[in-house]
Amino acid sequence: MSVLVYTENWDGKFKKLSFELVSYATGVAKMLNTTVTAISIGKVDQSELLKLGSYGANKIININNEQLAVLDSQVYTSVISEISGKENASVIIIANNNTGKAIAPRLSVRLKAGVGSGVSRLPLNLNPFTVYKRTYSGNAFAHLVIKSDIKILTLAQNSFDLFETPGNATIENLNPSVDGSLLKTVVKDVQKQTGKILLTDADIVVSGGRGMKSPDNWPPLVELATLLGAATACSRPVSDEGWRPHEEHTGQTGKIIAPNLYIAVGISGATQHLAGISSSKYIVAINSDKDAPIFEVAQYGIVGDAMKVLPKLVEAVKEIKK
Amino acid sequence: MKILVCISNVPDTTTKIKFAEGNTSVDTAGIQWVINPWDELSLTRALELKDDVTSGIKSVTVIHVGPAASEPTIRKALAIGADDAIRVNAVSSDAWFVAAQIAEVVKKEQFDVIMCGIESSDYNGSTVGGMISEFLGFPSVSAVSGIKFENGQPVMIREIDGGKEVVTVPVPFIAIVQKGIAKEPRIAAMRGIMMARSKPVKLVEPVAIDPLTQIVGFEKPTPRAACKYIDADNPEQLLDLLQNEAKVI
């Protein structure tokens, strides 16, 4: 028996999410009194791979195969399910990000394994195997029993604390046979954002809503974000109006984020917006309407016009950063 | 080519969720049911493709797994513009069950393109589309924020962490779509509502499938502490709290 965790890399590097996944897998393995095997697909240096060991991975299966350079969910499913069999995995852990959402359901059917998606805590119970998962877009959490022998859990990003565990991992290089006829996804072009903090990765997010009144009013918000090392986000009306790109839309149908600090500027806090941010650890609301629902979820609030408050806040941050 | 759009019936997204039966189920009293927001965008894009004669899309069918009580949601999809509908007559017990039912229908009736929203706003599972693909052995592309057809082949935009890819797969395939796939959901016009009444809804009885998961209880999110208000002229105090109390900057 083992706990298997798929750790994605980005241009050969792991990120906090990868270590959250291994920390979570290690927690589950402790409950089951078993070991953690991590799978890495792509070109990753040995020193980078060994970082997974410091969060509790006992064994790292390193796969560097050209045919896996493109994410094709059918091919990835074949590779991971084969390893799952060899490792006798009872629980498989994957990120609840775009990659995980592509792979986890296919793996579920291949292995006849029930999925608990968007988990944010360790399983509540082993018998029956019960997980705590987000439902109703964050308005409720369900206790979900997974009845199958193998369980697949997808972990919500930024929801589980990193936990360093002393220990050494062994690396096993594997070159699985990939059935080329399965490889059907062809990538014709790639456009990557560079130099920007990804919204889903950010510890701090500064977000603007309709209360910003015009796209021309964004410079102080962006300056605040830059000073704090934060990513920028926006509410749906702002992205619908084209004031900000749709990648920044945070909310039910946009991005779901869980930063340590979310600063909502000129955002009233409609249910659909709160669905995207309610897992943030701290929320600051700046809004001219003292009755805005955003204040019900915020820990710190300033009632005032965003255009007057933001410049003062920027100056104050500059002071403390001196 | 024919598109099948999978639709889920969910509580209106502004619903205050309340529980019933000792927190083991959701109290459905007074809930307004709507088409899952991602599925509504997916349907909108499917209809836009059908409107474009160069796409090669000839028809748009919607499929839903649910009891007779969810008919109004199916009629709404028909009023928006779907040509016909299929309802698998079963209460959906989990994603595995729903995906298996839809896959069974697709095995019998040929579709070239299957579109699913990336998640439903009630169970937030993000699994039905991928499961259907695997049941059928079709290629699938997830996190699709744009789709068009060139010479009968799909060209899709796939969102990745920190960017986008332009990808294609052979037909038949499944597109699991997210925000961006259509700008705004299409709204039913009066003519559409009238026409929807006479559009065919095919009833299919479910195949016997045991679900793999079951919700045994619900709880509310942990309540947050009350808001501390800071004077608008004193942002230094906010920073002090963020540094020394919350310790987040």
Is there a contact between A118 and B124 if contact means CB atoms under 8 Å apart? yes
CB atoms within 10 A of CB A296: 15
Strands (DSSP E) found in chain B: 2-6, 9-11, 19-20, 25-26, 33-35, 59-65, 84-88, 113-117, 140-150, 153-160, 163-168, 173-177, 201-204, 213-219, 228-229
Is there a contact between B249 and A228 if contact means CB atoms under 8 Å apart? yes
Among candidate residues B204, B155, B134, B194, the one with its CA nearest the CA of residue A187: B155
A321 touches chain B (CB under 8 A): no
Contact A158, B225 (CB under 8 A): no
Nearest residue of chain A to residue B155 (CA atoms)? A188
- The CA distance from A56 to the nearest CA of chain B, in Å, is 25
Q: Give dist(CA A97, CA A118) in Å, integer.
A: 9
**Alpha-carbon Rg of chain A, whole angstroms?**
21
10-residue averages of pLDDT along chain B (249 residues): 98 93 94 97 98 97 97 98 98 96 97 98 97 98 98 96 94 96 94 96 98 97 92 95 96
Nearest residue of chain A to residue B135 (CA atoms)? A109
Query: Shortest CB distance from B215 goes to which of A113, A142, A189?
Result: A142
For chain A, list residues with pLDDT below 50.
none
Is there a contact between B229 and A302 if contact means CB atoms under 8 Å apart? yes
**Domains observed in chain B:** 2-221 (3.40.50.620)
Residues of A in contact with B167 (CB under 8 A): 185-188
Among candidate residues B93, B88, B71, the one with its CA nearest the CA of residue B25: B93
Q: Please, which residues 12-71 of chain A have a Cβ atom closer than 8 Å to chain B?
A: 71
Structure tokens, B77: 């999809």
Among candidate residues B117, B123, B140, the one with its CA nearest the CA of residue B64: B117
A11 touches chain B (CB under 8 A): no
CB atoms within 10 A of CB B234: 13
Q: Give, in order, the Cα–Cα distances in Å from A246 to each of A190, B28, B182, B248.
A: 18, 33, 12, 27
- The CA distance from B243 to the nearest CA of chain A, in Å, is 10
Residues of A in contact with B220 (CB under 8 A): 139-141
Which CATH superfamily hosts domain A204-321?
Answer: TPP-binding domain (3.40.50.1220)
Which CATH superfamily hosts domain A2-182?
Answer: HUPs (3.40.50.620)
Beta strand A125-126 with A129-135 is: antiparallel
Q: Give dist(CA B108, CA B94) in Å, integer.
A: 22
Residue extent(s) of CATH 3.40.50.620 domains in chain A: 2-182
Burial of B195 (0-12, 13-18, 19+ CB in 10 A): middle
Is there a contact between A105 and B180 if contact means CB atoms under 8 Å apart? no
Query: Shortest CB distance from A303 goes to which of B143, B179, B232?
Result: B232
Residue A272: its pLDDT value, please? 93
Beta strand A261-265 with A231-234 is: unpaired
Contact B111, B19 (CB under 8 A): no
Residues of A in contact with B213 (CB under 8 A): 114-116, 144-147
Give residues with Cβ within 8 angstroms of A56, minimum separation 6: A22, A23, A25, A26, A29, A36, A163, A165, A167
Residues of B in contact with A237 (CB under 8 A): none
A204 touches chain B (CB under 8 A): yes
Give residues with Cβ within 8 angstroms of B191, minimum separation 6: none
How confident is the model over B154-209, as pLDDT tens digits?
A: 999 999 988 999 999 999 999 999 999 999 999 999 999 999 999 999 999 999 99
Is there a contact between A184 and B236 if contact means CB atoms under 8 Å apart? no
CB atoms within 10 A of CB A319: 11
Residues of A in contact with B235 (CB under 8 A): 302, 309, 312-313, 315-316
Contact A120, A27 (CB under 8 A): no
Structure tokens, A315: 């100056």
- The CA distance from B198 to the nearest CA of chain A, in Å, is 32
For A177, phi then psi, to 5°, come to -75, 125
- A11, A96, A101: best to mutate for the B interface, most B CBs within 10 A: A101
Is there a contact between A102 and B130 if contact means CB atoms under 8 Å apart? yes
Global ipTM: 0.96
Would you state the torsion angle of the CA atoms of residues A245, A313, A306, A266, taken in this order, to the nearest 10 degrees?
50
Residue extent(s) of CATH 3.40.50.1220 domains in chain A: 204-321
Residue A167: its pLDDT value, please? 81
User: Taking CB atoms and an 8 Å cut-off, how many pairs form between chains A and B?
Assistant: 277
Among candidate residues B30, B24, B31, the one with its CA nearest the CA of residue B9: B31
pTM: 0.96
Residues of B in contact with A281 (CB under 8 A): 246, 248
Q: Is the peptide bond before B172 cis (omega within 30 degrees of 0)?
A: yes
Residue A280: its pLDDT value, please? 96
Query: Shortest CB distance from B121 goes to which of A137, A308, A309?
Result: A137
Residues of A in contact with B173 (CB under 8 A): 184
